[in-house]
């Protein structure tokens, strides 16, 4: 390994532009003749649109156009789709209601767009949007799961009777029921997995430009996967054919899943840019983000775990209702099914698992993948059950877990996943040592003498990342393959460009991907440039989510590198009059092993492009591409332990220590990996203690700004203690597993387990606000 190779904590290349204010986000871009869009949004959760009068708005100063949902339907712009087909237990397909980009007849959530005003300035657009008169006939609204499944509940979509999208099962029901019948002990829990708002700090934005002469569109957008955006906009939404649509995702200010999906706003911006023959910019504000970004989580679950007399788990039975909101967002159907129920085995040997998931429509904004996507919900179910079982069975929570850990690999769970490798005991040992578990009782006593309630909580999570083997996900209903592509271009002067279909929106690809090149060729990372986020530059790619960019994206680069190296070695051997097999690459040079004969990479590159003296029959140039399709998911896993204190007077929680021991396989850049863990932990802790999206009974979003929705701040969080244990992933040549979501997946159960330990009451919902904790201590007095 060189100083900039794999395993080195190299400082990020991309940082210079961010710390000097030179980042280029969508809203920073100005086009000549650019106009501004302001959407007219529904104030009602459920209503019929009786009429829309745009005449006054059209006459306002600076207005270029006022467009409505009726017109977008007339122009045959396609409805938004969900790209993962789920089949119900009765064999029927999922029930997808129509979702036009702007509502022509019916609105189904507060904030749904019904019209758009395009004007010369942002203020003029907003002034005129207020002059659009919409006459609504309010309909009864269904604000949550319980309301949606009540008999006689108002119906959202005619396609979905009872508001049920699908009723899906996984696992062997009869065998699981039998395990419960013969169980020595059964532990059960009712769990609410609270609804979250992703809140990437950069609000979504889009700029659309239509070139009349070329009949060509360009879209600058806040996307985690610009190629997928182009594919969907082209193939399903009828905006333009793929070769007539360029999608650029420049610097993107965080995503956490919420910028995977194609939203109505970018569709409308594209369509409108052709209508008004001017570039159209839309920049969402935070209020629009709360109302229109896909939310995350929102499950109601009943979970039961069966144990034999020796405290071995014999069965797990889970019934979950998932809220998908008013419409099915792009990957929404897969989140509570194949990304959730397939992880219910956790780190444990569980012979029988049965899960039933019923997804429902409600009059709320759509729910889709948010950091972890299904896996945090699964991990929370399993780890809350384990902690509850330890208390009920009166055994140490660490010991109960250890007793049930999977210890031999590969391991086939009863819920599809085949774990390739892991050492769960090693992670747990590492975490328990780091937190000084043995010393906890004494610390608890001391805290008690100071009037504080101290608790400790475990969470041993596993996730399926490196999404995903295309054939496998195809057989489960996915509408796309989940491989990744890359191209390695060595320029005639020896500098290198890496084109990747992955997209960095904070993950540091511009550094880590260069580190692979530095490792292989021994060149400094300053000689390497990463090109991404532009469909005109990169041929194709599936983007960044599901902790896939190292395991899948970087492996694709490795495959392309291998091809480049092979050709370069042939050229070097030819130039040095040596055998190709004797060529090794060191410090940017091709060397005949055992001699002092070398040729530097720039000379090899120059030879490739001058083509004056290449081996017979060799094509000029030094550029190779590769597609990589993984053979399996990867399985990052770890043990988190949280120690905290509760102030019984206020119910306020304060952290004492938070330890994370993760196994991510090989680390490319430990500094960046740790940063990913910190951020994930903050979101997991945020879910446990602070964050929760709340709609009132009429479907109004109560938590519609940072004034009511609690974002974690610096003084809400501790510094984290991180450890790593390592088992190399056998499924990819780099041995990497992925690290982007772990913290968000593992943290919340550790926190809730610790608080319930501290207060001696296991009934506590997330977010565990001081109010809720205080009531859990003192009852409802």
Partner 1 sequence: MYQTTYHRPSSVDEAAALFAKGSESKYLAGGHTLIPVMKQRLASPSDVIDLSKIKELVGIALSGDALIIKAATTYFDILRSADAKKAIPALVHLVSVLGDPQVRYRGTIGGSIANNDPAADFPAAVVALDATVKTNKRSISADDFFKGLFATALEDGEIITAISFPLPAKAGYSKMRHPASRFALTAVFVTKTKSGDVRAAATGASQNGVMRVPAIESALKANWSPGALDNVRISADGLLTDIHGSSSYRANLIKVMAQRAVTAAG
Partner 2 sequence: MPTVKLTVNGRAVSADVEDRTLLVQLLRDNLNLTGTHVGCDTSQCGACVVHIDGQAVKSCTVLAGQASGSNVVTIEGISKGDELHPMQAAFRDNHGLQCGYCTPGMIMSAIDIVNRYGGKLDEDTVRHELEGNICRCTGYHNIVKSVLDAAGRMKVAQAAE
- Residues that bind partner 2 in the complex, under the rule CB under 8 A: 11-12, 14-25, 27-28, 30, 123, 199-203, 251-254, 256, 285-287, 505-508, 671-672, 674-675, 678-683, 705-707, 711-715, 717, 719-720, 743
23 binds, among partner 2, partner 1, none (CB under 5 to 8 A by kind): partner 2
Name which of 74 and 771 has its Cβ closer to partner 1.
Answer: 771
Residues 220-259: x where in contact with partner 1 by CB under 8 A, - otherwise, as a string: ----------------------------------------
Residues in region 34-73 near partner 1 by CB under 8 A: none
Distance separating alpha carbons of residues 712 and 92, to the nearest angstrom: 42
* Neighbouring C-beta atoms of residue 285, cutoff 10 Å: 10
Residue 438: CB partners within 8 Å, gap ≥ 6? none
Distance separating alpha carbons of residues 586 and 595, to the nearest angstrom: 13
692 binds, among partner 2, partner 1, none (CB under 5 to 8 A by kind): partner 1
- If binding is defined by CB under 8 A, does position 29 make contact with partner 1? no
Q: Produce one character per residue of 81-111: b if its CB has 16 or more CB atoms within 10 Å, e if not.
A: bbbbebebeeeeebbbbebbbbbbebbbbbb
- If binding is defined by CB under 8 A, does position 770 make contact with partner 1? yes
Name which of 665 and 743 has its Cβ closer to partner 2.
Answer: 743
226 binds, among partner 2, partner 1, none (CB under 5 to 8 A by kind): none
In the complex, minimum distance from the CB of residue 23 to partner 2, in angstroms, rounded to a whole number: 5
Distance separating alpha carbons of residues 662 and 660, to the nearest angstrom: 6
- If binding is defined by CB under 8 A, does position 700 make contact with partner 1? no
Structure token digits, residue 245: 């649509």
Q: Are 193 and 375 in contact (CB under 8 A)?
A: no
Distance separating alpha carbons of residues 293 and 257, to the nearest angstrom: 10
| Lookup result for tokens 């399709």 | 629
Q: Are 482 and 472 in contact (CB under 8 A)?
A: no
In the complex, minimum distance from the CB of residue 525 to partner 2, in angstroms, rounded to a whole number: 14
- If binding is defined by CB under 8 A, does position 650 make contact with partner 1? yes
- If binding is defined by CB under 8 A, does position 287 make contact with partner 1? yes
Residue 214: CB partners within 8 Å, gap ≥ 6? 244
Structure token digits, residue 50: 């009786």
Per-residue DSSP letter, 411: E
Residues 69-108: x where in contact with partner 1 by CB under 8 A, - otherwise, as a string: ----------------------------------------
Name which of 481 and 770 has its Cβ closer to partner 1.
Answer: 770
In the complex, minimum distance from the CB of residue 324 to partner 1, in angstroms, rounded to a whole number: 23
In the complex, minimum distance from the CB of residue 22 to partner 1, in angstroms, rounded to a whole number: 23
594: left (phi over 0), alpha (psi -120 to 50) or beta: left
Find the part of the chain contacting partner 1 (CB under 8 A) among 301-309, 546-554, 609-617, 773-781: 773-781
Question: Binding-site residue total for partner 1 (CB under 8 A)?
Answer: 29
In the complex, minimum distance from the CB of residue 204 to partner 1, in angstroms, rounded to a whole number: 19
Choice from 365, 601, 682, 690 touching partner 1 (CB under 8 A): 690
Name which of 78 and 226 has its Cβ closer to partner 2.
Answer: 226
Specify burial of residue 113 (Cβ count, 10 A radius: 0-12, 13-18, 19+): buried
User: Is the sign of the CA dihedral 141, 143, 146, 148 positive or negative?
Assistant: positive
In the complex, minimum distance from the CB of residue 753 to partner 1, in angstroms, rounded to a whole number: 21
Distance separating alpha carbons of residues 427 and 402, to the nearest angstrom: 11
In the complex, minimum distance from the CB of residue 710 to partner 2, in angstroms, rounded to a whole number: 11
Find the part of the chain contacting partner 1 (CB under 8 A) among 83-91, 104-112, 133-141, 645-653: 645-653
In the complex, minimum distance from the CB of residue 407 to partner 2, in angstroms, rounded to a whole number: 32
- If binding is defined by CB under 8 A, does position 774 make contact with partner 1? yes
Alpha-carbon distances of 519 from 22, 319, 392, 499, 613, rounded to whole Å: 29, 48, 52, 18, 28
Choice from 476, 694, 717, 728 touching partner 1 (CB under 8 A): 694
Per-residue DSSP letter, 354: E
3-state class percentages of the chain: helix first, strand second, coil last, to nearest 5:
30, 25, 45
Q: Are 482 and 499 in contact (CB under 8 A)?
A: no
In the complex, minimum distance from the CB of residue 769 to partner 1, in angstroms, rounded to a whole number: 6
Strands 313-323 and 353-360: parallel
Choice from 184, 436, 711, 760 touching partner 1 (CB under 8 A): 711
Residue 697: CB partners within 8 Å, gap ≥ 6? 143, 147
Structure token digits, residue 609: 């492009």
Alpha-carbon distances of 600 from 118, 463, 561, 634, rounded to whole Å: 56, 43, 17, 37
* Neighbouring C-beta atoms of residue 186, cutoff 10 Å: 17
* Neighbouring C-beta atoms of residue 7, cutoff 10 Å: 14
Structure token digits, residue 454: 């101290």
Name which of 92 and 705 has its Cβ closer to partner 1.
Answer: 705
- If binding is defined by CB under 8 A, does position 121 make contact with partner 1? no
769 binds, among partner 1, partner 2, none (CB under 5 to 8 A by kind): partner 1
- If binding is defined by CB under 8 A, does position 436 make contact with partner 1? no
Residues 163-182: x where in contact with partner 1 by CB under 8 A, - otherwise, as a string: --------------------
In the complex, minimum distance from the CB of residue 150 to partner 2, in angstroms, rounded to a whole number: 35
In the complex, minimum distance from the CB of residue 754 to partner 2, in angstroms, rounded to a whole number: 18
Choice from 4, 127, 251, 387 touching partner 1 (CB under 8 A): 127
Choice from 374, 398, 469, 651 touching partner 1 (CB under 8 A): 651
Name which of 492 and 770 has its Cβ closer to partner 1.
Answer: 770
For 718-746, give the secondary structure using H, E and C. Answer: CCCEEEECCCCCCCCCCCECCCCCHHHHH
In the complex, minimum distance from the CB of residue 736 to partner 2, in angstroms, rounded to a whole number: 19
- If binding is defined by CB under 8 A, does position 708 make contact with partner 1? yes
Residue from 76, 59, 50 nearest 267 by CA: 76
Name which of 68 and 199 has its Cβ closer to partner 2.
Answer: 199
Name which of 269 and 672 has its Cβ closer to partner 2.
Answer: 672
- If binding is defined by CB under 8 A, does position 649 make contact with partner 1? yes
201 binds, among partner 2, partner 1, none (CB under 5 to 8 A by kind): partner 2
Contact footprint for partner 1 (CB under 8 A): 123, 126-127, 130, 287, 649-652, 690, 692, 694, 702-703, 706-711, 716, 769-771, 774-775, 778, 780-781
């Amino acid at each position: 390994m060189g100083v900039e190779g794999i395993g080195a904590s190299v400082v990020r290349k991309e940082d210079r532009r961010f710390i000097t204010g030179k980042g280029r986000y969508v809203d920073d871009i100005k086009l000549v003749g650019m106009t501004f869009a302001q959407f007219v949004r529904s104030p009602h959760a459920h209503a019929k649109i009786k009429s829309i009068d745009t005449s006054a708005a059209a006459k306002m100063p600076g207005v270029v156009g006022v467009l409505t949902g009726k017109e977008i339907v007339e122009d045959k712009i396609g409805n938004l789709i969900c790209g993962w087909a789920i089949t119900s237990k009765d064999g029927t397909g999922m029930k997808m209601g129509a979702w036009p980009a702007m509502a022509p007849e019916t609105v189904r959530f507060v904030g749904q767009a019904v019209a758009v005003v395009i004007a010369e300035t942002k203020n003029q657009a907003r002034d005129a949007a207020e002059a659009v008169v919409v006459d609504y006939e309010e309909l009864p609204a269904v604000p949550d799961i319980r309301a949606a499944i009540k008999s006689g509940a108002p119906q959202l979509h005619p396609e979905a009777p009872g508001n049920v999208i699908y009723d899906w099962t996984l696992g062997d029901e009869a065998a699981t029921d039998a395990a419960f019948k013969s169980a020595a002990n059964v532990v059960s829990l009712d769990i609410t997995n609270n609804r979250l708002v992703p809140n990437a700090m950069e609000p979504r934005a889009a700029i659309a430009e239509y070139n009349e002469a070329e009949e060509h569109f360009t879209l600058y957008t806040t996307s985690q996967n610009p190629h997928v955006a182009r594919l969907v906009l082209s193939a399903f939404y009828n905006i333009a054919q793929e070769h007539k649509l360029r999608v650029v995702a420049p610097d993107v200010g965080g995503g956490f899943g919420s910028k995977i999906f194609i939203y109505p706003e970018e569709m409308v911006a594209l369509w409108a840019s052709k209508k008004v023959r001017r570039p159209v910019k839309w920049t969402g504000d935070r209020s629009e983000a709360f109302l229109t970004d896909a939310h995350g989580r929102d499950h109601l679950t009943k979970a039961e775990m069966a144990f034999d007399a020796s405290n071995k788990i014999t069965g797990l039975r889970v019934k979950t209702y998932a809220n998908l909101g008013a419409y099915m967002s792009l990957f929404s159907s897969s989140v509570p099914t194949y990304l959730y129920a397939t992880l219910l085995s956790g780190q444990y040997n569980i012979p029988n698992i049965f899960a039933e998931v019923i997804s429902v429509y409600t009059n709320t904004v759509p729910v889709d993948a948010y950091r972890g996507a299904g896996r945090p919900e699964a991990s929370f179910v399993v780890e809350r059950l384990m902690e509850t079982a330890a208390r009920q069975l009166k055994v140490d929570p660490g010991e109960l877990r250890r007793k049930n850990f999977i210890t031999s690999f590969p391991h086939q769970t009863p819920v599809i996943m085949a774990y390739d490798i892991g050492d769960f005991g090693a992670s747990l040992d590492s975490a328990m040592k780091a937190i000084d578990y043995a010393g906890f009782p004494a610390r608890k006593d001391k805290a008690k003498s100071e009037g504080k309630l101290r608790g400790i909580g475990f969470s041993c999570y596993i996730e399926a990342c490196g999404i995903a083997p295309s054939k496998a996900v195809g057989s489960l209903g996915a509408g796309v393959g989940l491989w990744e592509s890359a191209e390695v271009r060595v320029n005639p002067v020896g500098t290198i460009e890496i084109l990747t279909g992955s997209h960095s929106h904070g993950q540091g690809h511009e550094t880590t991907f260069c580190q692979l090149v530095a490792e292989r060729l021994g060149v400094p990372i300053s000689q390497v440039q990463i090109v991404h986020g532009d469909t005109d530059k990169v041929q194709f790619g599936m983007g960044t989510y599901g902790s896939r960019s190292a395991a899948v994206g970087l492996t694709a680069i490795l495959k392309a590198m291998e091809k480049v190296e092979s050709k370069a070695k042939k050229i070097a051997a030819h130039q040095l009059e040596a055998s190709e097999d004797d060529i090794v690459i060191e410090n940017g040079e091709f060397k005949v092993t055992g001699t002092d004969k070398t040729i530097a990479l720039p000379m090899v590159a120059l030879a490739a492009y001058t083509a004056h003296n290449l081996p017979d029959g060799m094509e000029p140039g030094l550029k190779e591409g590769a597609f990589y399709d993984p053979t399996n998911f990867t399985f990052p896993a770890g043990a988190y332990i949280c120690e905290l204190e509760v102030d019984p007077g206020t119910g306020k929680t304060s952290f004492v220590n938070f330890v994370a021991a993760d196994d991510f396989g090989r680390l490319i850049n430990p500094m960046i990996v740790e940063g990913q863990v910190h951020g994930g932990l903050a979101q997991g802790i945020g879910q446990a203690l602070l964050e929760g999206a709340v709609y009132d009974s009429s479907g109004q979003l109560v938590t519609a700004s940072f004034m009511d929705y609690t974002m974690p701040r610096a003084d809400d969080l501790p510094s984290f203690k991180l450890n790593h244990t390592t088992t190399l992933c056998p499924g990819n040549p780099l041995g990497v597993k992925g690290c982007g979501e772990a913290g968000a997946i593992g943290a919340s159960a550790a926190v809730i387990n610790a608080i319930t330990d501290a207060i001696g009451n296991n009934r506590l919902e997330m977010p565990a606000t001081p109010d809720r904790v205080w009531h859990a201590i003192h009852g409802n007095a």
